[in-house]
Amino acid sequence: MKTRTLCSALLFIFAMALQSCAVVEGIFKAGAATGVIAVVIVIALIIFVITRFRGNNRP
């Protein structure tokens, strides 16, 4: 339970720390290739967090 609460708190802090406008501005300044890489990394992190929350509920 503590781990789940800690992960939720960290995810909330991470989401609040990244302001969407600043992120988009940075992506446009860095270029399209960097933007694609950043999006792939963010999606991978989201999938990783979701799989960690689900745990091993499979039979």
Please indicate, yes or no, whether the overall pTM of this predicted structure exceeds 0.85: no
In the chain, what are the domain boundaries?
Answer: 2-54
Position 25 scores a pLDDT of 76
Contacts of 4 (CB under 8 A, 6+ apart): 53
pLDDT in tens, 3-48: 778 777 777 777 766 666 777 777 677 787 877 888 899 999 999 9
Asked if 27 and 38 count as a contact pair (C-beta separation under 8 A), the reply is yes
